[in-house]
Chains A and B, each alone.
Chain A
Amino acid sequence: MASVTLSQVRKSFGSTPVVLGVDIEIADGEFCVLVGPSGCGKSTLLRMIAGLEEISGGDIRIGTRVVNNVPPKERDIAMVFQNYALYPHMTVYENMAFSLRLAKAPKEEMERRVDEAARVLGLVEYLGRYPRQLSGGQRQRVAMGRAIVRKPQVFLFDEPLSNLDAKLRVQMRTEIKELHQRLKTTSIYVTHDQIEAMTMADKIVVMNAGVTEQIGSPLDLYDNPANLFVAGFIGSPAMNFLPGKITAAGIAIGADIHLPMPANNLAEPGREVIVGVRPEHLAVADDGVPAEVVVVEPTGADTQIFCKMAGVEITAVVRERHDFKPGTAVRLRPELTYIFEPASGRRLA
């Protein structure tokens, strides 16, 4: 096991910059999730760590060793690909044993390790089958098994669950997390699904357009988003954003909504801001802000209320049950607000 350190890592394909100077420190044994929208450079970063892409600038360290020019097989890593990349002409056993066989491991050792991995992953009865005879979830497990038999320093996962159906995804998510708790191998996991990121990570790296927007623990990112992007990306349903203006009394949204000033260091009347409120921080209350119900979606445990507030569509999630009809006027009280600067997206309060 080892730590992984990226310092000012850059990547360009030809003249197109894709990763623009990324700094990440991943401690030994940590489960780090890279999350971000499609095309932001997550896979590229992961492939650079794996040694499948050349590094255009900066350093990648595994442990204390700079691996910029070390070929993949000497980096002591294992990677699980999105489409699993199982060797179609080999059985499950041969797939899992392939790397050990190349490393000329003794036969008993190889059998013992494959057996152990197969037992952990519930693949014992499938060892003789070919990948085409397995279901998606089983293939996924074989891909993981292939990674764990090698006992590498670092596991790399590139959206390993995105080809599975919703239910299996939740199940595999838990399995991967359990596996990590058991093996305690440093893991880097790429996903574009923020729920996966929140539930699995020790540390989340939010990426956007080739840069890291924020790095922190899941709850840290949820409670203290550094900017508009992170605030909008983490949390489901997503945070509501309302354009506002600072006044002497507080923050005005539209003509007739006034919110109290969250902190007094913004006293700069006339300044335009964006107010962010999480759906779960909106409560139905008589002293709230007026809004009009558009759609109500009960999920059982809670109810999502889509409504219009000051002309903007917002979402509220409430636990108590209300009998709202579309068109009803409601009053919602923001319990917690975040204030952002519109131009830079920076968080002000």
Chain B
Amino acid sequence: MSDKAPDTAGMDYLQTLPRRWVTVYIPMIVFLILLLFPFYWMAMTAFKPNEELVSRAANPFWIVSPTLAHFEKLLFRTDYPQWMWNTVLVSVVSTFASLAASVFAAYAIERLRFRGAKQTGLAIFLAYLVPPSILFIPLAAIVVQLGLFDTRWALILTYPTFLIPFCTWLLMGYFRSIPYELEECALIDGATRWQILVKIILPLAVPGLISAGIFAFTLSWNEFIYALTFVSSSETKTVPVGVVTELVEGDVYHWGALMAGALLGSLPVAVLYSFFVEYYVSGMTGAVKE
């Protein structure tokens, strides 16, 4: 990517300052506002006392006397910490399980070239296109028959149904960008298939693994339908489901606590992204650079 920098710098003389405002800065600012406003609103609501929230006179965009009351309610008078723990556990386990399965699947489809490898790749992709809103009914039947209803296992085992196809596709593209000669050279050097995978392919695919991992983690962190249907007791709920089912009582919306829950729930993902953003970008754009 650093190779590209001189190119854009070279075009700079075409860009006068007013022109840059029109083509770069103003669109960027509009985009940022659109993107960040929901988070701003969420944060405002989470710290606002209830009186200000419902008052018509109060400024909706500002807080006069910020409070931690909603967080206090969330953390000490609901099962929120338990939901958080469930979400972490389910997301981490299903992400790692899916990554492991996807590495083998993607490598086999991309490099072992068995008969029907192409069709298998396509079939996996098609599986990803089936929407969860159709799948959750038959999956629910399976979950119940396995006796997993209302356990964390129900989620840990069903999330890979959409994570594996996704990760496999991402990794297939990544493996494809690793030159064949490296593997052939390793083969001559005396490596077995397994050693090639572990010592050559995986170290080179680290950016791909990280971006697949982040994606899978985010998808399972935010998953809603399966979590809503496959678990019912408060102790097994995940954050997205727990927040909307337990903090809305009848037609009473505990807006402050809801927003506080959403805010806390989105923090881990945001932190994860910020750590790996560079790998993430290079993972999405592929290519092993020598």
Contacts and interface: CB of A to CB of B under 8 A. Distances in A.
A187 to B, nearest CB: 15
A72 B179 contact: no
Interface stretch (B94-102, B122-130, B185-193, B239-247): B185-193
A79 B181 CA distance: 11
Interface in A135-180: 146, 150
B209 to A, nearest CB: 13
B73 to A, nearest CB: 50
Interface in A65-91: 71-73, 77-79, 81, 83, 85-89
A72 B193 CA distance: 12
Contact of A73 (B187, B203, B289): B187
Name the interface size band of chain A: 20 to 34
Contacts of A56: none
Interface residues of B, number: 18
Interface stretch (A97-105, A225-233, A309-317, A334-342): A97-105
Of the listed residues B179, B181, B195, the one surrounded by the most CB atoms of chain A closer than 10 A to its CB is: B181
Given A73-B190, A83-B179, A102-B189, A52 B184 contact: yes
Interface in A114-147: 131-132, 146
B188 A50 contact: yes
A88 B181 contact: no
B182 interface: yes
Contact of A102 (B184, B190, B203, B288): B190
Contacts, number: 55
Contact of B288 (A51, A79, A88, A146): A88
B61 to A, nearest CB: 50
A91 to B, nearest CB: 13
Contacts of A102: 189-191, 195
Contact of A81 (B181, B191, B195): B181
B51 interface: no
Interface string B170-199: 000000000101101111111100010000
Contacts of B191: 73, 102
Contacts of A50: 184, 188
B290 A131 contact: yes
A141 B162 CA distance: 47
A298 B288 CA distance: 46
Given A81-B181, A83-B179, A98 B189 contact: yes
29 contacts: A50-B184, A51-B188, A52-B187, A52-B188, A71-B187, A72-B184, A72-B187, A73-B189, A73-B190, A73-B191, A79-B184, A79-B188, A81-B181, A81-B184, A81-B185, A83-B179, A83-B181, A85-B179, A85-B185, A86-B290, A88-B290, A98-B186, A98-B189, A99-B189, A99-B190, A102-B189, A102-B195, A131-B290, A132-B290
Interface of B: 179, 181-182, 184-191, 195, 200, 203-204, 288-290
